[in-house]
Structures are given as structure tokens and as C-alpha cells.
Structure 1
């Protein structure tokens, strides 16, 4: 039996496309399974379409043959299947990410837009800054803290990867983030210099909303919008609080988050002025 797995964004896209193609072919899951042979069952087809079972490439090919798809669609979906099940970095941290929904989404995103009014975003945190933040909510011993820090370090690697291409990250932060001395002066100075360094990457943009800006679109808390290529998935908004995480997927609701992020960028300093402010605070 194909192994169970935590589906990636690409895995869910493949599953939904296989279901759509079966419906278009006018087949039920029972009829599809019957035509595919003894190794297939309604249960197997259904689990593949729900992204609960990882299909083999041969299995995907058999389904596409049955549904009579054109050559372009066939090639695209087989390529999607080949890339859908690559092992995520979080598999080495199953003790920390029992349900790696967000990090799996983040890993597949082509664009990440993040509004952060309280802390430097996790993808931009230095090791010591991350350690100090994690200590505030990690109730285990120092070894547990270090384990989470190592996971965060591993997570940050996606900003510099070559294949698949690194996502474009745009961060808007409140000036308070820069002035709050997490971990003390030395740790914070190092963090500010790290922001200046990472901002030089072509795929990373850091902007700051200064104190003199009054009411703005981000006063109700942090959020992230994850953007994906149309061939993979629709955009998703993510909001995390102490009460838990919320994934917003409806087009209208995600659009509201996108508009708020555009308003935040409009209220923020330019990239150049943001760099100057970060550098000035670092000198202080």
C-alpha cells in the first residue's frame, strides 16, 4: 500500500486535478478503479484524490491514460507528481512539527508577504534573537530550546536556495520591532545588522512603518500572505495567535489581506529610508 504522508501544496494540487479529470471523464471512483485493474479499488482512488495517499508515478500515469488527457496536461501533471513528494526539511523535526501545515505551505510559496508589528519575522531572525524569543514560550529545558533554534535555522535556508527557486519575501515591520531590545543590546545590534545584510538579497525586501505614522491597516495584528504560482495553488493568508492558527483561503478574504498589505507598504518608509532607519538604530 502506498505510504501515508503529509501532503505538500503540490500534492494537494495534483490530487484535486486528478479528481477534476475523473469527473470530466464521467467516471465514479468505483468505475475508475474497475477499469484500472485488480491493484486498484474505490478506496485507493478516493484516497489519492484526497491527497491522503502518495501515488506512484506509474499510478498517476495510469490514471491519466484512463482519463484520456491531452499531451500537454499529461506532461504537466507528471512533472507536478515528480516534484510533489520531495522530502521537506521539517521531516527531521517531526517532534516539533506534528502538523507541519504552515512550514509546508511556506516551503512551496513563490511569494511571502509578512506584516510583523512585534518581532523580527522568523525567517530573518539571528540564532541568538530566535533563542531569546523561543525561551519565552518554550517550557522545556535548554535542549528543547536549542532543538527549536536549529529547526528555525534550517527553515531559513529557503531564502538562499537555488532549486526550487527561493521565494520573494517582503516584510513590513513596525519601528517598535527595531527598538525592542530582545536579548539585550548586543543581541539586538547583531539582529539589526543581519536585517541590513539580508535586505541586500534580490529576493528580500525589508520596510519599516515609523512611529510618526498614526492609524494604519495593521493595528489588528500580524499576518502573512503566501502566494503560489497559479498552476500549483491559490494564495493563502495565515494568522497566528495564542488561540491557534487560522488559514484563510477564500479568494475574497485573501484579497482583503492583500489590500491591507498594500496599504501597509504605502504607509511604510521606502526601502532606502528603511535601511537608513535600521542602520541609525543599530548605531544607537
Structure 2
């Protein structure tokens, strides 16, 4: 039986950041905290890096040590109680890779997503047939069950675009992502039609960088920037590569990728011109 993992959430990250700030403000090292409270140093590290949610008695001991009074104490305790909320993660997601379920959790809580893709149609915009073909192609050793689980998760993720307060999505794609025939012409025609439909939604902005734009800042690879409703929650950068999935949240990284995205916006076709290009590709696929 697969053990239930503690997936990172925005609130868990906020709690971890607040506890790090409080310890720093008290001029204590982790070793100092261990000596004065008996909390294991490794446990404290996991708490402060959002790997685990602290138990009630552990959190109380930390707040006592840091001399945290009301109303801040009550706010932190409430944040801890809410830190395990998993957005809409389905039970079977425990069988998916940990990094992917973490991404799903963050995406479900995000207010806005900026996504640059160089080779794929973004997951939130994929049709089921395209998703099946691309996952099967990228993971040639995956079983039929594993492929189906990933396709199912990918399609379910798209609920963030149709909920009452939909995700604000800004997508920039290289023309190569549109030109690569994944799953055959029929699949691509349906995929292009799907892009045209979604691009008409007010919460979605879609741009394409044409081949004739030449070299551009996105050529090293794809990335996703996620922003959250609360100002206290720092943006996250997600990078999916052959070397593994990577989450970045340092200010310098966020600033660098935000600047890159702005550069890509500048070289990409306008949303209207991008829609025209996609319409032309639909005609070609016929």
C-alpha cells in the first residue's frame, strides 16, 4: 500500500516561511531550538522547508520559544490547521510522481499562471487525444495504466479554467509546438480548434512566437510561473526537464524568469495574429 504523502500547499509554504522568519527574528539557530525545546533538528528542517506540517504540540513549543503573542499566534495556528488542504487532488494521484502532484496542488491554488512552451501544447489546453499521444511518446516505457492515469490527471487539471473564479492563464508557445504533428492530422486539427476556443475566453491569453522571429529567450526550454491570491505567497517557477522536475522560488530566479517571459511577449505575435496563425494551421490540417 502506498503511504500517503504530505503534498506541499501554498499555506504550508507560508507557514514554513513564517516559522523561519520568527526563528531568525529570535536570533536562534536550528541547533539552539533543538537544545531549548527538544525538537529534532531534522524535524525542524522539514517543517521550515514545507516538507511536513508541524504537530500541534511542536508548533506550540516553537511559538512559546519565539514569544509569539496574540493575534499573531492565533493566525499561525489557524494557518497550520488549513495547511493540509490539498486543492482538488484525487485519491489516485498518490500513484503519480511526487513532483507532478506537487505541481497539481500549486496550480489548483494559483491566481495566475504564465506558461512558455517550446515543443508541446500546454497541458491545460490539450485535448484528451493529444494528451494521450504526447504522453505515450514522451514516456515510451510507461504502461497503459500509467499513461491513462496521467491523461486523466491532465484533463482534470483543466477544471481550473472553468471554475467560478477561473485561473488567469497567459500562454506563449513557439510555432514548433503547433507544427509538430502529434497523434496524426485529425488529432492536431482538433487540438488547433481547441486552442481557438480557449483563446476566446477572457481569462486566457494566447500568443505564438513564429519561426521568422529567429532566436529568442525561450529557446533554452519551457517554464511555468505561478502567482497566488495572497501577497505573502511568493511566486513559484516550475521547470520540467529530462534531469527532473524543479521548483524555484528565490527572488532572483522569479525576477529572471519574469523578465524572460516579458521578452517573449515582445517577440511573439499579438493574440489576434496568433489566432490567425492557428486558424491557418487548422486549414492546413484538413
Which TM bucket (shorter chain)?
0.7 to 0.9
Tell me, yes or no, if the aligned pair for 1:9 and 1:232 is still in contact at 8 Å. no
Cα deviation digits, residues 147-202 of structure 1 (max 9, x gap)? 2211111222222234xx54321110122222222111211111111111212333
Tell me, yes or no, if the aligned pair for 1:192 and 1:278 is still in contact at 8 Å. yes
Tell me, yes or no, if the aligned pair for 1:170 and 1:205 is still in contact at 8 Å. yes
Structure 2: how far apart are the matches of 1:179 and 1:53? 43
User: What TM-score, normalized by structure 1, do the two folds share?
Assistant: 0.81
- The aligned counterpart of 2:116 is 115
Bigger mean CA offset, 229-238 vs 151-160 = 229-238
- The aligned counterpart of 1:42 is 39
Tell me, yes or no, if the aligned pair for 1:173 and 1:207 is still in contact at 8 Å. yes
Structure 2: how far apart are the matches of 1:231 and 1:58? 29
Structure 1: how far apart are the matches of 2:16 and 2:255? 25
Is residue 148 of structure 2 the alignment partner of residue 146 of structure 1? yes
Is residue 84 of structure 2 the alignment partner of residue 85 of structure 1? yes
- The aligned counterpart of 1:128 is 129
Deviation at 1:223, TM superposition (A): 1.8
- The aligned counterpart of 1:37 is none
Tell me, yes or no, if the aligned pair for 2:206 and 2:274 is still in contact at 8 Å. yes
Cα deviation digits, residues 236-266 of structure 1 (max 9, x gap)? 3232221223333332232121111101111
- The aligned counterpart of 2:175 is 175
Aligned pair in 2 of structure 1 residues 217, 193: CA closer, same or farther (>3 Å)?
A: same
Kindly report which structure 2 residues correspond to 1:237-256, keeping only aligned pairs within 5 A, or say none: 237-256=237-256
Structure 1: how far apart are the matches of 2:74 and 2:202? 32
Structure 2: how far apart are the matches of 1:115 and 1:53? 31
Cα deviation digits, residues 65-107 of structure 1 (max 9, x gap)? 7755465544643453343211351552222223433333333
Deviation at 1:212, TM superposition (A): 2.2
Aligned pair in 2 of structure 1 residues 53, 236: CA closer, same or farther (>3 Å)?
A: closer
Tell me, yes or no, if the aligned pair for 1:90 and 1:97 is still in contact at 8 Å. no
Report the 3-state secondary structure (helix = DSSP H, G, I; strand = E; otherwise coil) of the residue aligned with 2:95.
coil
Deviation at 1:63, TM superposition (A): 5.6
- The aligned counterpart of 1:217 is 217
Kindly report which structure 2 residues correspond to 1:1-284, keeping only aligned pairs within 5 A, or say none: 5-25=6-26, 28-30=32-34, 33=37, 41-43=38-40, 46=44, 48-55=47-54, 64=63, 67=66, 69=68, 71=70, 73-74=72-73, 76-88=75-87, 89=89, 91-99=91-99, 100-138=101-139, 139-162=141-164, 165-229=165-229, 231-284=231-284
Report the 3-state secondary structure (helix = DSSP H, G, I; strand = E; otherwise coil) of the residue aligned with 2:205.
strand
Bigger mean CA offset, 91-100 vs 258-267 = 91-100
What stretches of structure 2 of length at least 5 have no aligned partner? none
User: Pairwise CA RMSD of aligned residues?
Assistant: 3.0
